[in-house]
């Protein structure tokens, strides 16, 4: 009969290895996923707006999800590519950059009025004399981020070339654009539809509305395990404005959002075509 007291060390070592492996698994479970975003507002305001969503995703998936603010569109793309964030809320153009440079994967897009599309609106003050975009020749115009090529494409499609403005500037955030037009710092500017609707009662009037455009979206790093991606997608798809708690989370992100639907890369081919002429400039 084998003496059970012989060779105790291998058993002890095996137990230690198991304990170490379990500790590593627990540490991995505690490693946070970072949610990033293009800068739609100041960093402090973005933290306020996106933290409820990060908290919801954490509760729903059982993962640690934390929000990390980015100063601009380009930084949001780079941080996703460098794995500083693993999930990101991106404009269509930011998504295309993240896809081309880092193979980012589209996850879900928000629903507004039941559709995963949005419009860009060229707006002026309600009391201005301008009635069409061609009236803006020789006037001052406000854009958002310099890398937001879709804004430029929409302005050109509306009937006016950028060089026809007396001047134009990049004010980073849609709220900044709306306030600058209302304050008469600029004669007109370009806004996301839901932001325009927010400021219209304060004295804005639309000159032009773009055709439906593929919406902003949440994309994920290609490094995320498929099981994690599936958990995140399921959590997003469960968010419904019909649920009062969910509605509060969605409204912080955008007042018009009602929920989410899955999206694919091909859904953004229109944006590729529209912005292609501006990618070489």
pLDDT digits (tens, 9 = 90+) for 33-53: 999 999 888 889 999 999 999
Same domain flag for 37 and 171: no
Residue 21: predicted pLDDT: 45
Q: Is 6 within the bounds of a domain?
A: no
Per-residue pLDDT at 281 exceeds 70: no
Residue 17 lies in a domain: no
| Judgement on whether residues 112 and 218 belong to the same structural domain of the protein | yes
Long-range contacts of 225-231 (CB under 8 A, 24+ apart): 228/33, 228/61, 228/63, 229/105, 229/107, 231/60, 231/61, 231/62, 231/63
pLDDT band at 27 (very low <50, low <70, confident <90, very high): very low
Mark whether 105 and 238 lie in a shared domain.
yes
For the residues 139-166, what does the mean pLDDT come to? 96
Percent of the residues in the chain that have a pLDDT greater than 70, as a whole number: 89
Number of domains in the chain: 2
> 29: burial class by Cβ within 10 Å (0-12, 13-18, 19+)?
exposed
Residue 262 has pLDDT above 70, yes or no: yes
Same domain, 76 and 206: no
Retrieve residue 4's tokens: 């059970």
- The residue range of the domain holding 231 is 30-116+214-269
At residue 184, does pLDDT exceed 50? Answer: yes
Reply yes or no on whether the pLDDT at 144 is more than 50: yes
- Does a structural domain hold residue 224? yes
Last residue of a domain, one of 173, 193, 211: 211
Indicate whether 10 belongs to any domain.
no
* pTM as predicted: 0.82
Determine the pLDDT at residue 104. Answer: 98
Find the Cα–Cα–Cα–Cα dihedral 220, 260, 50, 97, rounded to 10°: 40
* Percent of the chain clearing pLDDT 90 (strictly above): 83
Statement to judge: residues 37 and 106 lie in one domain: yes
> Within this chain, do residues 96 and 228 fall inside the same structural domain, yes or no?
yes
Same domain, 219 and 195: no
What confidence score (pLDDT) does residue 25 get? 41
Identify the pLDDT of residue 279: 82
Identify whether the C-beta of residue 275 lies closer than 8 Å to the C-beta of residue 155: no
């Amino acid at each position: 009969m084998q003496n059970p007291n012989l060779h105790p060390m291998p058993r002890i070592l095996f137990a230690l290895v198991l304990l170490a492996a379990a500790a590593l698994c627990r540490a991995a479970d505690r490693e946070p996923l970072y949610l990033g975003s293009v800068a739609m507002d100041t960093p402090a305001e973005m933290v306020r707006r996106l933290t409820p969503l990060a908290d919801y995703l954490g509760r729903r998936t059982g993962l640690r999800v934390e929000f990390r603010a980015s100063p601009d569109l380009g930084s949001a793309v780079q941080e996703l590519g460098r794995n500083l964030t693993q999930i990101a809320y991106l404009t269509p153009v930011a998504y295309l950059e993240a896809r081309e440079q880092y193979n980012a994967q589209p996850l879900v897009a928000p629903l507004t009025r039941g559709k995963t599309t949005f419009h860009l609106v060229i707006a002026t003050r309600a009391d201005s004399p301008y009635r069409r975009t061609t009236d803006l020749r020789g006037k001052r115009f406000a854009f958002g981020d310099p890398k937001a090529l879709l804004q430029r494409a929409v302005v050109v499609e509306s009937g006016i070339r950028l060089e026809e403005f007396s001047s134009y500037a990049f004010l980073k955030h849609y709220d900044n654009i709306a306030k600058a037009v209302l304050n008469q710092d600029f004669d007109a500017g370009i806004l996301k539809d839901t932001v325009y609707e927010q400021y219209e009662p304060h004295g804005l009037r639309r000159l032009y509305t773009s055709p439906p455009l593929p919406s902003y979206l949440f994309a994920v790093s290609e490094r995320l395990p498929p099981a994690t991606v599936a958990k995140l997608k399921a959590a997003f798809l469960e968010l419904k404005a019909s649920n009062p708690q969910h509605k509060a989370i969605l409204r912080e992100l955008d007042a018009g959002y009602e929920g989410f639907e899955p999206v694919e890369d091909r859904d953004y081919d229109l944006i590729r075509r529209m912005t292609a002429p501006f990618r070489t400039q």
